[in-house]
Amino acid sequence: MAQGLIYTFGPTFRAEKSKTRRHLSEFWMIEPEMAFYDLEDNMNLAEEFIKYIIRYALENNPEDLEFLASRLTEEEKQKPQNERSEMGLIERLEFVVNNNFERINYTEVIEILKNSNYNKKKKFQFLIDKWGVDLQSEHERYLVEKHFKKPVIITNYPKEIKAFYMRQNDDGKTVAAMDILAPGIGEIVGGSQREERLDRLEERMKEMNIPFEELSWYLDTRKFGTYPHAGFGLGFERLVQFVTGMANIRDVIPFPRYPKNADF
């Protein structure tokens, strides 16, 4: 609260039993937090940040990217025609850098998914039938790879599926949250404007049965000199996976840790 603009970069641990090509039990996270930022400011910074990193790689590592692009092209040839990417690696990276990310709220996303052929023909494993459901990776990939064909920022999620500290919107149903989805890997950034109003924060904690005494230190940050603020977390390995075109996230970290595996 005294600094205004801060960030952290370090390991993050999750006890999910996910053994997919985009999940790890330990991964690295870049987390900025900014004073006097609202949700719009937060989205702008996250989009600029991703584009800056990709642009830097394109300008400073062209030979590496050419090699990775060739490797990906050969890998794509092994896939069925309908599963192949429409763009090569470098073309995809340039497309992300040169185009604005699609911005859409959760309610609009549910309508798109519910009315999609994938949903109607039951191609989704998790069918979309009502407002309020949490999006799965298959839904995220459909949005970015089939519908919009570019990165997407989804905003204003239902408060029931998001953390207690996200700022509640005036509709009483949603929070000022945002996720950025990228082709091939789904969610790459998750963030929100934080709830700076002490009474609303305490009210939400009561609704979710979160003991005040366990988070007294957190409530103190609202009691003694708070302000509106926002931030996000960017999964470093998922970003490296996207830039390099690697299919499995375990190939972009030196010592991958996932359920029942931690060699070092």
Domains of the chain, earliest start first: 5-252 (3.30.930.10)
The pLDDT assigned to 169 comes to 97
The pLDDT assigned to 247 comes to 87
Q: At what angle do helices 39-60 and 89-98 cross, to 10 degrees?
A: 140
Low-confidence ranges of the chain (pLDDT < 50): none
Cα–Cα distance, 196 to 194 (Å, whole number): 6
Please give the C-alpha separations between residue 101 and each of 3, 30, 74, 195, 254, in angstroms, as whole numbers.
30, 20, 28, 26, 31
The pLDDT assigned to 246 comes to 92
The pLDDT assigned to 137 comes to 85
- Residue 233: DSSP 8-state: E
The pLDDT assigned to 124 comes to 92
Cα–Cα distance, 54 to 230 (Å, whole number): 23
Contacts of 11 (CB under 8 A, 6+ apart): 26, 27, 28, 29
The pLDDT assigned to 259 comes to 82
- What SS3 state is found at 228? coil
Cα–Cα distance, 123 to 137 (Å, whole number): 13
The pLDDT assigned to 53 comes to 96
Contact 192, 177 (CB under 8 A): yes
The pLDDT assigned to 52 comes to 97
